[in-house]
Amino acid sequence: MNEVILETRGIRKAFGKQNVLDNVSLMVPKGCVYGLLGPNGAGKSTLMKMFSGMIRPDEGEIYFNGSKWSRDNLKDTGVLIEQPPLYENLTAVENLEVRTLLLGIPKKRIQEVLDIVDLKNTGKKRAGQFSMGMKQRLGIAIALLNSPSLLILDEPTNGLDPFGIQELRDMIRDFSDQGITVIVSSHILSEVEQVADYIGIISEGVLGYQGGMKQGKDLESLFTDVVRKNRGRELCC
């Protein structure tokens, strides 16, 4: 069995009276691409925010490399959750510079990450004038600055055209080839299917399926089964 980089045990989270995550036990093998699949509102972003220290679970534990998760693990984690956190009035380089200063990362890493996401030569253009795809790339560049061993990408294809989606998929595979574990969420089945080694299907806060992506696996019926089973669950306490 592979080593596990990230594990959750019995995670629960409620916002007010709404139970958003219910007993979620996730297991992410090291070096894999883990696709977290689920319809809108399933709880994907909420779960991913827990891996980046933005939200705490009400119950349950998170383990990173076998030890209880702590903020120290953020040094090894890169995140892009929901919208890229950009200063719209700054250029790509300046956006990255702010982070290198904050995190004490050598400046030369800026060109490296811009190369990786293929976002060179944007010069004086400010991030606010970037296309959606460029903003996403810059968001990924920011996530890569600290050379993470775990990269969390929350619906990274949002707003991308089919070509951009293909490029992103190739990028994710490259990260994985370099030994970076990637957790990527999507509400679109085909996006996860084409890139993931493992998948977790979450619906209404319940992880209804988790396992390896085997050839010929009928992901569509798995997905609909899980969604159907949890639809209309009594989510209010």
Residues that bind Mg ion (CB under 5 A): 44-45
| Residue 28 or 114 with smaller CB distance to ligand ADP | 28
Which does residue 20 touch among ligand ADP, Mg ion, none (CB within 5 to 8 A, set by kind)?
ligand ADP
Measure the CA–CA gap between 237 and 227, rounded to whole angstroms: 20
Residue 83 binds ligand ADP (CB under 6 A): no
Residues 27-46 that bind ligand ADP (CB under 6 A): 38, 40-46
- Nearest CB to ligand ADP, comparing residues 17 and 124: 17
Least separation in angstroms between residue 159's CB and ligand ADP is 15
For the bound state, the minimum distance from the C-beta of residue 136 to ligand ADP, rounded and expressed in Å, comes to 16
| β-strand pairing of 181-186 with 150-154 | parallel
Q: Which residues face 151 on adjacent strands?
A: 78, 182
Q: Is residue 188 near ligand ADP by the rule CB under 6 A?
A: no
Q: What distance lies between CA 167 and its chain's CA centroid?
A: 17
Between 41 and 80, how does the x/- string for binding to ligand ADP read (CB under 6 A)? xxxxxx----------------------------------
- Quick check: 234 binds ligand ADP (CB under 6 A)? no
Q: Which among 150, 144, 51 is positioned nearest to 100, based on CA atoms?
A: 144
CB of 198 to ligand ADP, least distance (A): 18
Name which of ligand ADP, Mg ion, none residue 212 binds, using a CB cut-off of 5 to 8 Å depending on partner kind: none
**Rounded least distance, CB 188 to Mg ion, Å:** 12
Query: Strand 59-64 to strand 67-68: parallel, antiparallel, or no bridges (unpaired)?
Result: antiparallel
Residues 6+ apart with CB under 8 A from 228: none
Residue with the two structure tokens 């009400």: 58
Let me know if 30 is exposed, middle or buried by CB neighbors in 10 A (0-12, 13-18, 19+): middle
